[in-house]
């Protein structure tokens, strides 16, 4: 029996989220790392782990883009079906009801969130555990040190889940075990029957169904996980995910079509793609990814950053611990701990502040609430189609909306909404000069 024949899990891959907390960034699953979208990375990881039956749930807005990405050689030797979660179908319950039409309910379900990036090893463990007969539901849980606003698990000495408590707060956590959305449901038909009969105003109908299984004395088993986990909830989570993908660069690579100038310093590891030009006296300290057709001018410093294709890193710019997407233009800029998505130009001398003067953790406004990033260094987060004039200053943790124009010489301390033209309110004062101008002398 082959590995494929021995695994009949119906993978329900949830990818219909609207990424509203990610503003001003695009949908998280379409962000590119190492030339592949998050969606492709997730799909490939599941496939390598041994998943072959895919049911991908998208939204009315993103399904065509998802289908375009999940196609061709990527789906070779796989069964891939798609369904749309309509705007009227809310939360996980809505996504699963959309999936019901395309799955085989005689097979066990493997529910996977597109927003949780994990290692291949946990998918492999789930597949192995799914073949056992000592549970009805299998849930993956991870111990976390800092509080994460998610579901927490109360378990017994047998690693059986007794209760799921959604967002209990720091002080009321039953444990440090956060529930990851990596679940195996053995009794598929029973599960869908209960799901349809469960309603909630708090958008936790799915969790209530699992609790009903527990209350009916069905065994809900915990599978502990201690590896890498990065949920994509807020914009700055992309910086953490960037570090994860950059850490996977074990060997350095320069494409033969690329040009490296004189006295360029390249510290490993790095990946230099097609037709990249790096001019004289620039310093690149790995891990670094430089996308195709990107130019790095003279005397630039780039550290621990991911730079996409068709970018121009102009003379004397410094890029540190930042994600730059496609078509970004810089010139004598400092960009630190920042995310610049697409089609952005910064005038000479403009800078992103990335550290508070009191060196405390930086907060940012998300959906009208002040959210602590838990980061002491966080720069600016910019969407798409943005122009910033010369000598402008962007304060730590602010966000610049799409299709915005910021004029020269301004200090931006608050988020800038989409389609904003922002100009400073100042005036020049002219009067007679009474200061005597000395003759310049040789100062050397």
Say what the alpha-carbon torsion angle 208, 213, 219, 224 is, to the nearest 10 degrees.
-20
Can you name the CATH fold of 10-233? Spore Coat Polysaccharide Biosynthesis Protein SpsA; Chain A (3.90.550)
CATH for 239-422, among 3.40.50.300, 2.160.10.10, 3.40.228.10, 3.40.50.720? 2.160.10.10
Q: Which range is least confidently modeled, 118-127, 232-241, 385-394, 431-440? A: 431-440
Confidence of residue 149 (pLDDT cuts 50, 70, 90): confident
Are 161 and 178 spatial neighbours (Cβ–Cβ below 8 Å)?
no
Contacts of 352-359 spanning 24+ positions with Cβ under 8 A? 352/379, 352/380, 352/394, 352/396, 353/379, 353/380, 353/393, 353/394, 353/395, 353/396, 354/378, 354/379, 354/396, 355/396, 356/396
Examine the pLDDT at 3 and tell me if it is beyond 50: no
Identify the pLDDT of residue 1. 34
CA neighbor of 394 nearest in space, from 410, 371, 412, 418:
412
What are the pLDDT digits (tens) for 161-209?
A: 999 988 888 888 889 999 999 999 999 999 999 999 999 887 788 999 9
The structural domains of the chain, with segments of one domain joined by +, span 10-233, 239-422
- For the question of whether the overall pTM of this predicted structure is more than 0.85, the answer is yes
Confidence of residue 443 (pLDDT cuts 50, 70, 90): low
Mean pLDDT of the chain: 94
What is the rounded CA–CA span in Å between residue 291 and residue 280? Answer: 19
Q: Give the mean pLDDT of 34-61.
A: 96
Q: Give the mean pLDDT of 388-393.
A: 97
DSSP helix/strand/coil, 352: strand
Examine the pLDDT at 88 and tell me if it is beyond 80: no
- DSSP assignment of 232-295 equals --STTHHHHHHHHHHHT--S-EE-TT-EE-TT-EEESSEEE-TT-EE-TT-EEESSEEE-TT-E
Q: Which two tokens stand for residue 309?
A: 């294709």
DSSP helix/strand/coil, 118: strand
């Amino acid at each position: 029996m082959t590995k494929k024949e021995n695994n009949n899990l119906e993978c329900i891959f949830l990818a219909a989220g609207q990424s509203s907390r990610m503003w001003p960034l695009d949908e998280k699953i379409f962000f590119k790392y190492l030339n592949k979208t998050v969606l492709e990375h997730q799909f490939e990881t599941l496939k390598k782990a041994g998943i072959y039956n895919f049911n991908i749930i998208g939204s009315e807005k993103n399904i065509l883009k998802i289908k375009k990405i999940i196609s061709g050689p990527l789906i070779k030797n796989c069964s891939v079906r798609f369904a749309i979660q309509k705007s009227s179908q809310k939360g996980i319950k809505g996504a699963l009801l959309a999936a019901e039409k395309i799955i085989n309910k005689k097979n066990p379900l493997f529910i996977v969130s597109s927003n949780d990036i994990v290692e291949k090893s946990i998918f492999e463990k789930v597949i192995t555990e799914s073949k056992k007969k000592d549970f009805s539901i299998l849930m993956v849980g991870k111990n976390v040190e800092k509080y994460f606003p998610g579901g927490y698990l109360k378990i017994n000495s047998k690693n059986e889940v007794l209760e799921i408590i959604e967002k209990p707060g720091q002080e009321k956590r039953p444990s440090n075990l956060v529930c990851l959305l990596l679940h195996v449901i053995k009794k598929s038909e029973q599960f869908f029957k209960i799901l349809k009969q469960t309603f909630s105003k708090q958008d936790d109908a799915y969790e209530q169904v699992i609790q009903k299984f527990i209350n009916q004395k069905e065994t809900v088993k915990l599978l502990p996980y201690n590896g890498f986990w990065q949920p994509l909830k807020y914009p700055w989570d992309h910086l953490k995910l960037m570090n994860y993908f950059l850490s996977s660069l074990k060997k350095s690579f320069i494409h033969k079509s690329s040009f490296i100038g004189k006295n360029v310093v390249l510290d490993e590891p790095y990946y230099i793609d097609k037709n990249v030009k790096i001019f004289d006296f620039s310093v690149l300290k790995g891990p670094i990814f430089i996308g195709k057709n990107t130019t790095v001018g003279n005397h630039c410093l780039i550290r621990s950053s991911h730079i996409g294709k068709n970018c121009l890193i102009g003379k004397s710019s410094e890029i540190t611990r930042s994600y730059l997407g496609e078509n970004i233009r810089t010139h004598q800029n400092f960009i630190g701990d920042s995310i610049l998505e697409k089609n952005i130009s910064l005038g000479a001398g403009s800078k992103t502040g990335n550290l508070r003067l009191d060196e405390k953790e930086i907060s940012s406004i998300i959906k009208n609430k002040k959210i602590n990033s838990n980061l002491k260094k966080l720069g600016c987060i910019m969407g798409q189609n943005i122009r910033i004039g010369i000598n402008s200053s962007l304060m730590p943790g602010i966000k610049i909306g799409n299709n915005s124009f910021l004029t020269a010489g301004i200090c931006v301390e608050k988020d800038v909404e989409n389609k904003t033209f922002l100009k400073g309110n100042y005036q020049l004062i002219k009067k007679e000069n009474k200061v005597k101008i000395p003759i310049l002398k040789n100062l050397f």
